[in-house]
Amino acid sequence: MSDLDVLECLASMEALLAQEPFPLDPGGLDAWQARFEQALASAEQGPQWESIRIRAREVHHQLMHRLGLLETERDQVRAELSLGAQGARALKGYAPAPRF
């Protein structure tokens, strides 16, 4: 592998990050990470390596930003589900009493 493999991995992640909505595919992300780590391990670290590192940091920041957005969405869904559960419990108190 070469530095070009690292660049290809970065380009594929940038393309993923550009998609709206972000495709939530843990298996695909795991496969990407494995390819990226393999490409890093065998990279030549030639003259363009510094620019590759800068680009990798930018991708990292984009991923962390996207992670923050996903965590915010998750927290909103949890809050809505919690309110729904509270409402359901409150309504149980108003259920008609059985007649004897």
Q: Is 50 left (phi over 0), alpha (psi -120 to 50) or beta?
A: alpha
pLDDT digits (tens, 9 = 90+) for 45-85: 999 999 999 999 999 999 999 999 989 999 999 888 887 76
Sketch the domain layout of the chain as residue ranges: 3-92
User: What is the percent of the chain where pLDDT is above 90?
Assistant: 60
What is the structure's pLDDT at 63? 92
Q: Is 45 left (phi over 0), alpha (psi -120 to 50) or beta?
A: left
Region 27-33: mean pLDDT is 91
CA distance 100 to 56: 72
Q: Give pTM, 2 decimals.
A: 0.74
91 — pLDDT class (breaks 50, 70, 90) = low
